[in-house]
Amino acid sequence: MQKFNSIIDYLLVAIGLIVTLIMSAQIFCRYVLNESIPWSEEVVRYLFIWMTFLGAAIVLREKQQIRVTYFLDLLPNKVRDRVKDIESLLTRSLILVLAILGLIWLLTSNVAISSSTGAHVNMIIYSALPVTMILSIIFLMTNRGDKKK
């Protein structure tokens, strides 16, 4: 599982580097050469979508999501553990629903072609939700025994 996690981490870093390179090239071309790269903004937009969703999955893997624990910390230990179990069940359920609905959305939406790249928008953008939600489910299932906050 550690190798799989490393691949996802490197993928996220690679996407960030590609975004930086494309935007740097676009800035150089626009302001120095007075020409624009027509596909750059669209590709960067797609990569940002994937970067955001992959980042959300990694946040779940590392259990670093934002939480307000003030009231939870006031509860007795036994009740606190039950509330955490309910929270975990609700989180897993929501992610499963998002994965299923995202897959349905991907398979039933009309095929849209990107204007500047000619790529299928469905496969590039719409697949981000189900793919990363399935990835989140894998992360949550493999981290079940981990007791991090």
How far apart (Å, rounded) are the C-alpha atoms in residues 64 and 35?
A: 42
Mean pLDDT of 91-113: 89
| CB contact at 8 A, 60 and 140 | yes
Mean pLDDT of 29-40: 92
Q: What is the pLDDT of residues 55-86, one digit of tens each?
A: 999 999 998 888 888 888 888 999 999 998 99
Based on the number of CB atoms within 10 Å of its own CB, is 36 exposed (0-12), middle (13-18) or buried (19 or more)? exposed
